[in-house]
């Protein structure tokens, strides 16, 4: 592939051969001027924008280029530049016919990628007086079509003497600096005599004048058009020129020396790919095949730019288009940079992470903009055709393909446009821009987002709500919560919330309410599908409309009033129990009661909601504190105090406390929750909605009206023995109450396990996904493994109990195979006697067992007892010298 520089790109060399009338063959080399034209579809020139991120990028690029100019660096490669060579009538020239001036009197090269680099290189050529940048009609060979003013400026610039402009600007700056120095001296002399303010004009006698930027100086030139000063391309180009000149001075280099060495600019090269005859997708494949893959972020930006063009936004809404481009290369990338904690010496991978964060933010916001929308699009009549509408819907609603929302949209949009459908759902760029602008803000620490103003979202990590939304597979709950936040920010943006304590309080109240209602481990029913998400979003929109219309005031607790007076009575398909709990808390926070003031209740409720395990779900301690028809704050605080001791900041899933809690609660009662066909969960200290203790804590006991009634019993007993640790208390409760069960009760085989470690191991060997499933007392006492392809094999509770409770064995007896050992007849446990004999107990059907024995000198089992009841197992095993007693 041919290597080009800007000179050979603009003055394209080519070889020719011709035969004279005499038959003589002549050949030679000529050049043809080819205009580089930045098409309207391209984004603005961004290298001169005044943001920290772009300034850093500009600093690195311009200094690399200066190194080449001054011979400090041998050469610099801009990698690939690619696009289309086009004729004057707009057709793409895919062959060498561009050489024929009769066929193509005007030829242009339109870059699809490389615009930013080529523009910077063009400005360097002008700054250092290198090359012919002017065509025969005194027009620039490098122009921008993105705006008429940009093209006019390029034509104007190449007709200016760079050295003259730079020298005159430099002289004007020097003159002002000199004048300011003199005025400072006069200031010091006159300030204690006649004063520095003229009493007649009321102005400073010796003012200090600002030095003009290069842009301001150029504006003062008679030939500089007034309407150019609003063109971001022009402003960006002049900023780059000024930055380069500043770096020359900062590095102690000589501008004049750079002009002398301007031939070195031809050592800044690139590989040109200009004979493209493919569409965008094929282009990206070509680039990858040629060894220079576009980053996903570059693809994202170009795809969105193209979509804007297809929607006609650059023509119908240039302000939106310009704002979008400015933010993509400005505030949004700065936000991602600041919040990615990049070191002061960033590596390429660091930059890629920043780009990936912005990429994900944009993609997620595209998806969010369609959450509430009924996707309008065509569906194929041919069953073999791809349903692009359905694929796009799936990318929004499913968890797995969420990273491909934009790709699916572009496929969908391309298809709809191809079939001339004018009414399909399109990306709402204004909505996305508004949401991101409402979300992010700056303060003394840099860029932040609204979710950093909220209390901690997770127990296990410090991720913010936005962090969770940008994860690989955000859950449906997270999508609802992010939607609730962004819709609230449309009422009050983050930048306003951050500086107003009242707004901050209401924002926190709103998002705390959303967290409590939609946190998955706080709910009895999960958001199982995207219809559930949309129902939740409809409710949220309704609530916020009501808030904005009738409840939003300058008062700190206006959200609490919305919850109490409106949301509770308008559940809109949302879980009523959660809304009722939130209304109780809102009432106490707003009105208080005879036991405490509203402020005191607010403090207690806020503290209780932050409990490591409860995490906003406090209906249980509220119910325990009920005295007559009112909640007693002193009792509530006491129960919360003991809950905080119980759930102390550690997730005790699968440790001793977890096992001891199960045993203690079974000693009190058959408390199983999540019952289905007489099967239920024993509970765990985790966050799983179906079998955590949190679900039991929102289970109401009809006879007492208490939630999680056995926890209240446990804490009431603890209050009588406050010196005990939780573990000591649980062991004491087990020892006191376990005698209520006999060997015919399934609970017996759990509460009598001698150590929590053994119980946990037994459960580990019998459960799938932490789920304990038991039958009722008096019937089959198996623990089943659920959700497994081997459902025919059942691991029975008694055999497991005997396998793990080795303290029951007679001296010298061992059980070589612990755990879930089974064959086609059922679960079994082997006991090896000191003489080598093996006794096997097998669970068969119902409550019946069989016992076999294999002497040490035999290979086969001998049946001793068949179909014996559980109550007879102890007698038979004792007689065989295996156990002492149950």
- Tokens 């650059």, located at residue: 314
Instruction: Give the residue ranges of DSSP H helices in 610-755.
Output: 619-624, 633-646, 656-668, 693-697, 709-720, 726-737, 748-751
pLDDT above 60 for 165: yes
Choice among 129-138, 180-189, 431-440, 746-755 with the minimum mean pLDDT: 180-189
Give mean pLDDT, residues 642-655. Answer: 81
- 560 neighbors 506 (Cβ within 8 angstroms): no
Q: How confident is the model at residue 287 (pLDDT cuts 50, 70, 90)?
A: very low
Length of the chain measured in residues: 886
CA angle 711, 714, 715 (to 5 degrees): 90
Give mean pLDDT, residues 854-883. Answer: 91
Distance from C-alpha of 67 to C-alpha of 74, rounded to nearest angstrom: 8
Contacts of 646 (CB under 8 A, 6+ apart): 613, 715, 726
**pLDDT, position 360:** 93
Choice among 423-432, 448-457, 679-688, 803-812 with the minimum mean pLDDT: 679-688
For residue 25, what is the DSSP state?
A: E
- What angle, rounded to 10 degrees, do the helices at 331-339 and 52-69 form? 100
- 163 neighbors 259 (Cβ within 8 angstroms): yes
Distance from C-alpha of 578 to C-alpha of 267, rounded to nearest angstrom: 69
pLDDT above 70 for 517: yes
**pLDDT, position 204:** 53
**pLDDT, position 793:** 42
pLDDT above 60 for 781: no
The rounded percent of the chain whose pLDDT value lies above 90 is 44
Distance from C-alpha of 477 to C-alpha of 479, rounded to nearest angstrom: 5
Choice among 192-201, 526-535, 630-639, 799-808 with the minimum mean pLDDT: 192-201
Choice among 363-367, 418-422, 516-520, 758-762 with the minimum mean pLDDT: 418-422
- Name the pairing type of β-strands 107-113 and 76-87: antiparallel
**pLDDT, position 385:** 66
Give mean pLDDT, residues 720-731. Answer: 96
**pLDDT, position 202:** 46
**pLDDT, position 114:** 84
pLDDT: is 588 or 199 the higher one? 588
pLDDT above 80 for 883: yes
CA distances from 263 to 166, 251, 266, 433 (A): 20, 20, 6, 44
Choice among 253-257, 311-315, 835-839 with the minimum mean pLDDT: 253-257
Choice among 204-208, 755-759, 777-781 with the minimum mean pLDDT: 777-781
pLDDT above 50 for 741: yes
Give mean pLDDT, residues 258-280. Answer: 80
- Name the pairing type of β-strands 706-707 and 700-701: antiparallel
**pLDDT, position 771:** 52
Choice among 430-434, 686-690, 782-786, 831-835 with the minimum mean pLDDT: 782-786
Choice among 10-19, 187-196, 209-218, 472-481 with the minimum mean pLDDT: 187-196
Longest dimension (CA), the chain: 126
CA distances from 598 to 197, 353, 585 (A): 58, 47, 10
**pLDDT, position 561:** 97
pLDDT above 70 for 92: yes
pLDDT in tens, 368-405: 999 988 899 988 876 656 688 998 999 998 877 788 89
- For 26, other C-beta atoms within 10 Å of its C-beta total 9
Distance from C-alpha of 88 to C-alpha of 103, rounded to nearest angstrom: 10
Contacts of 514 (CB under 8 A, 6+ apart): 480, 481, 484, 485, 540
**Helix, strand or coil, per DSSP, at residue 729:** helix
Give mean pLDDT, residues 827-838. Answer: 90
- 119 neighbors 38 (Cβ within 8 angstroms): yes
pLDDT above 90 for 740: yes
CA angle 801, 805, 810 (to 5 degrees): 120
Q: How confident is the model at residue 795 (pLDDT cuts 50, 70, 90)?
A: low
- 803 neighbors 818 (Cβ within 8 angstroms): yes
Give mean pLDDT, residues 771-788. Answer: 48
Q: How confident is the model at residue 284 (pLDDT cuts 50, 70, 90)?
A: very low
pLDDT above 80 for 277: no
pLDDT above 60 for 40: yes
**pLDDT, position 14:** 81
- 371 neighbors 479 (Cβ within 8 angstroms): yes
Long-range contact set of residues 770-774: C-beta below 8 Å, sequence gap at least 24: 770/653, 770/684, 770/686, 770/688, 770/691, 771/681, 771/690, 771/691, 772/681, 772/682, 772/691, 773/679, 773/680, 773/681, 774/672, 774/679, 774/680, 774/682, 774/746
- Run of H or E including 359: helix 348-369
**pLDDT, position 606:** 94
Mean pLDDT of the chain: 84
CA angle 714, 718, 722 (to 5 degrees): 165
Choice among 280-294, 296-310, 653-667, 758-772 with the minimum mean pLDDT: 280-294
**pLDDT, position 352:** 83
**pLDDT, position 238:** 93
Choice among 572-586, 608-622, 836-850 with the minimum mean pLDDT: 836-850
Choice among 400-414, 622-636, 746-760 with the minimum mean pLDDT: 400-414
- 611 neighbors 618 (Cβ within 8 angstroms): yes
**pLDDT, position 195:** 52
**pLDDT, position 818:** 56
pLDDT above 60 for 59: yes
pLDDT above 60 for 790: no
Distance from C-alpha of 87 to C-alpha of 98, rounded to nearest angstrom: 8
Distance from C-alpha of 299 to C-alpha of 623, rounded to nearest angstrom: 56
Q: How confident is the model at residue 526 (pLDDT cuts 50, 70, 90)?
A: confident
- 85 neighbors 108 (Cβ within 8 angstroms): yes
Residue of 579, 599, 540, 547 lying closest to 368 (CA atoms): 540
Choice among 61-75, 477-491, 657-671, 768-782 with the minimum mean pLDDT: 768-782
Q: How confident is the model at residue 769 (pLDDT cuts 50, 70, 90)?
A: very low
Q: How confident is the model at residue 787 (pLDDT cuts 50, 70, 90)?
A: very low
Give mean pLDDT, residues 6-33. Answer: 80
**pLDDT, position 715:** 98
Distance from C-alpha of 797 to C-alpha of 769, rounded to nearest angstrom: 18
pLDDT above 50 for 779: no
Evaluated on CA atoms 254, 256, 260, 263, the torsion sign reads positive
- For 315, other C-beta atoms within 10 Å of its C-beta total 10
Choice among 503-517, 611-625, 818-832 with the minimum mean pLDDT: 818-832
CA distances from 463 to 451, 456, 460 (A): 10, 8, 9
């Amino acid at each position: 592939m041919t290597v080009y520089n800007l000179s050979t790109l603009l003055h394209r060399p080519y070889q020719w051969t011709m035969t004279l009338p005499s038959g003589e063959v002549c050949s030679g080399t000529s050049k043809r001027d080819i205009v580089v034209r930045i098409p309207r579809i391209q984004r603005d020139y961004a290298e001169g924008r005044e943001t920290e991120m772009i300034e850093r990028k500009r600093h690195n690029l311009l200094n690399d280029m200066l190194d080449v100019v001054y011979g400090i660096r041998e050469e610099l490669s801009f990698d690939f530049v690619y696009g289309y060579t086009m004729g004057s009538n707009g057709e793409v020239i895919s062959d060498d016919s561009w050489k024929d001036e009769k066929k193509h009197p005007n030829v242009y090269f339109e870059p699809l990628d490389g615009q930013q680099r080529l523009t910077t290189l063009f400005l360097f050529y002008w700054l250092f007086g290198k090359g012919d940048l002017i065509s025969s009609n005194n027009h620039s060979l490098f122009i921008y079509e993105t705006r008429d003013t940009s093209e006019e400026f390029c034509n104007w610039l190449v007709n200016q003497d760079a050295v003259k402009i730079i020298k005159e600007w430099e002289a004007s700056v020097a003159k002002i600096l000199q004048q300011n120095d003199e005025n400072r001296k006069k200031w010091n002399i006159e300030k204690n005599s006649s004063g520095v303010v003229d009493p007649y004009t009321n102005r400073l006698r010796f003012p200090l004048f600002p030095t003009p930027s290069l842009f301001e100086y150029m504006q003062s030139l008679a030939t500089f058009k007034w309407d150019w000063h609003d063109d971001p391309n022009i402003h960006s180009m002049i900023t780059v020129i000024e930055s380069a000149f500043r770096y020359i001075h900062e590095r102690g280099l000589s501008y004049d020396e750079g002009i002398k060495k301007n031939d070195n600019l031809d050592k800044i090269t690139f590989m040109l790919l200009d004979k493209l005859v493919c569409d965008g997708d094929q282009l990206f494949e070509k680039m990858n095949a040629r060894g220079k893959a576009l980053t996903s972020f570059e693809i994202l930006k170009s795809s969105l730019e193209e979509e804007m063009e297809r929607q006609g936004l650059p023509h119908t809404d240039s302000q939106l288009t310009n704002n979008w481009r400015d933010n993509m290369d400005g505030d949004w990338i700065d936000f991602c940079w600041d919040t990615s904690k990049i070191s002061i010496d960033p590596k390429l991978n660091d930059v890629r992470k920043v780009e990936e964060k912005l990429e994900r933010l944009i993609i997620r916001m595209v998806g969010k903009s369609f959450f509430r929308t009924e996707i309008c699009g065509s569906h194929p009549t041919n069953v073999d055709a791809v349903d692009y509408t359905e694929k796009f819907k799936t990318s929004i609603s499913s968890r797995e393909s969420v990273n491909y929302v934009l790709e699916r949209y572009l496929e969908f949009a391309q298809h709809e446009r191809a079939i001339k459908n004018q009414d399909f759902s399109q990306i709402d760029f204004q909505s996305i821009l508004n949401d991101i602008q409402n979300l992010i803000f700056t303060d003394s620490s840099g860029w932040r987002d609204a979710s950093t103003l909220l209390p901690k979202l997770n127990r296990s990590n410090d991720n913010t709500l936005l962090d969770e939304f940008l994860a690989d597979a955000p859950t449906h709950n997270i999508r609802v919560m992010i939607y609730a936040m962004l819709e609230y920010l449309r009422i009050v943006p983050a930048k306003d919330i951050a500086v107003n304590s009242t707004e901050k309080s209401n924002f926190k109240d709103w998002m705390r309410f959303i967290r409590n209602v939609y946190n998955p481990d706080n709910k009895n029913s999960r958001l199982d599908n995207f219809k559930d998400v949309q129902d939740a979003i409809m409710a949220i929109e309704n609530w916020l409309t009501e808030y904005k219309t009738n409840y939003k005031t300058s008062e700190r607790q206006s959200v609490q009033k919305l919850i109490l007076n409106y949301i509770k009575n308008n559940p809109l398909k949302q879980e009523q129990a959660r809304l009722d709990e939130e209304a109780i808390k809102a009432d106490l926070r707003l009105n208080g009661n005879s036991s405490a003031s509203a402020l005191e209740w607010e403090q207690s409720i806020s503290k209780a909601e932050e409990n490591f395990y409860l995490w906003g779900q406090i209906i249980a301690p509220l119910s325990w504190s009920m005295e007559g028809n009112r909640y007693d704050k002193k009792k509530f605080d006491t129960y919360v105090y003991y809950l905080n001791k119980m759930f102390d900041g550690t997730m005790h899933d699968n440790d001793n406390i977890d096992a001891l809690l199960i045993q203690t609660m079974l000693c009190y009662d058959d408390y199983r929750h999540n019952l289905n066909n007489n099967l239920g969960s024993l509970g765990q200290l985790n966050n799983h909605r179906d079998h955590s203790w949190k679900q039991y804590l929102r289970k109401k006991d009809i006879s007492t009206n208490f939630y999680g009634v056995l926890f209240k019993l446990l804490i009431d007993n603890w209050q009588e023995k406050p010196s005990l640790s939780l573990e000591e208390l649980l062991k004491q409760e087990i020892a006191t109450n376990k005698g209520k069960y006999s060997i015919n009760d399934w609970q017996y085989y759990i509460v009598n396990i001698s150590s929590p470690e053994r119980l946990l191991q037994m459960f580990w060997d019998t459960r799938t996904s932490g789920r304990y499933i038991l039958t009722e007392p008096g019937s089959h006492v198996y623990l089943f493994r659920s959700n497994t392809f081997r459902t025919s094999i059942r691991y029975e509770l008694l055999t497991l109990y005997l396998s793990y409770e080795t303290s029951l064995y007679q001296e010298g007896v061992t059980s070589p195979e612990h755990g879930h050992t089974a064959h086609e007849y059922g679960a079994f446990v082997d006991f090896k006697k000191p003489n080598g004999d093996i006794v096997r107990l097998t669970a068969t059907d119902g409550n019946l067992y069989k016992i076999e024995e294999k002497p040490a000198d035999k290979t086969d089992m001998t049946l001793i007892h068949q179909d014996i009841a559980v109550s007879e197992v102890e007698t038979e095993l004792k007689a065989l010298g295996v156990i002492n007693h149950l």
